[in-house]
Structure 1
Amino acid sequence: MKQFAVVVGAGSFRSNDGAAIRFPHRWTAEGVTVEADFTGAHLLHLAAAGCVLNDIYREAGVLGIRIDGVRVTAEGGFDTQTWTSSGITYQVELRSPASGDELAMLLDRVDDVAEIPRAIRAGATVRRG
């Protein structure tokens, strides 16, 4: 099974790689960076990673937690014969003055509310219109 990984970063975790793509971002003045190839598998993983990054900033704002940097890496495998996914695993790195307990609570909350991971977990019908 071939692995497809993506990395999104913001704040102190923005990528310095010249190949990284930069996007404006509602919650960060410097925007976000994306390191991903342009394949369907990468884009699926990018949707999950980008949603988690966005929701970290959104939920941290609600909870009054300052976030100085976020990096989300999402990856998973695809059988390149059938394009069956092995699932998506994501990891989060945070830089914040908040306590470890506060950050753990934030990440649990984000894992519960992040829209794209929730939609993928629930399954979605995709059809040509």
Structure 2
Amino acid sequence: MKISASIKSSFQSHEVNVETESNNKNILIAHKAEGYGSSVNGGEFLFLALATCFCNDLYREAIKRNMKIDSVEVKVSGEFGGEGEPAKNISYKVKIEAKEHSDVQINDLITFVDNIAEIHNTLRQGITVELEK
């Protein structure tokens, strides 16, 4: 599956596009108050990627188990230090409402998804990010 993301930014203009297998989506993200760059920082997007991945994978895996999920809440938090320093102390909490299922079933689903979530596993194993020139 080929995925890409792009930003085109200039004074008071900030265009964000994501694409998966030729399925383009424009995302409305405001520019910074000063006029240049994104009002949302990369760390926030990184944590949103973790939360989104877990949420989507949870629903996908629940369907496979014939589980009806009423609602999901995922909160990711962590810390960034100075410029150039990687994140640390990243953790997340999951709250699931699924009235038709036991706590054991819900916890089993959470544990399973934690082990297969692609964004989580990418960060856990580390990966090379290359600058193309």
TM-score by length of 1: 0.69
Instruction: Report the equivalent of 2:73.
Output: 71
Q: CA RMSD in A?
A: 1.5
Instruction: Report the equivalent of 1:59.
Output: 61
Q: Secondary structure at the match of 2:77?
A: strand
Alignment of 1:81-96 (within 5 A): 81-96=83-98
Whole-angstrom CA distance in 1 between matches of 2:124 and 2:81: 19
Based on CA coordinates, which of the two structures has the bigger radius of gyration? 2
Where relative contact order (Cα < 8 A, 6+ residues apart) is larger, the structure is 1
Instruction: Report the equivalent of 1:104.
Output: 107
Q: Secondary structure at the match of 1:79?
A: coil
Q: Secondary structure at the match of 1:88?
A: strand
Alignment of 1:8-19 (within 5 A): none
Q: Which amino acid aligns with 1:94?
A: I
Whole-angstrom CA distance in 1 between matches of 2:56 and 2:47: 14
Q: Secondary structure at the match of 1:91?
A: strand
Q: Secondary structure at the match of 2:120?
A: helix
Q: CA-to-partner distance for each residue in 1:16-62, whole Å, 9 max, x for gaps?
A: xxxxxxxxxxxxxxxxxxxxx61011111111110000011001001
Whole-angstrom CA distance in 2 between matches of 1:81 and 1:38: 16
Whole-angstrom CA distance in 1 between matches of 2:102 and 2:128: 40
Identity, % of aligned positions: 34
Which ranges of 4 or more aligned residues in structure 1 deviate by more than 3 Å? none
Quote how far apart the aligned CAs of 1:84 are.
Answer: 2.0
TM-score by length of 2: 0.67
Instruction: Report the equivalent of 2:26.
Output: none
Instruction: Report the equivalent of 1:128.
Output: 131
Quote how far apart the aligned CAs of 1:82 are.
Answer: 3.2
Unaligned runs of 5+ in 1: 1-36
Unaligned runs of 5+ in 2: 1-38
1:117 matches 2:120 = yes
Q: Which amino acid aligns with 1:106?
A: L
Whole-angstrom CA distance in 2 between matches of 1:88 and 1:109: 19
Q: Secondary structure at the match of 2:92?
A: strand
Q: Which amino acid aligns with 1:75?
A: S
Whole-angstrom CA distance in 1 between matches of 2:56 and 2:82: 30
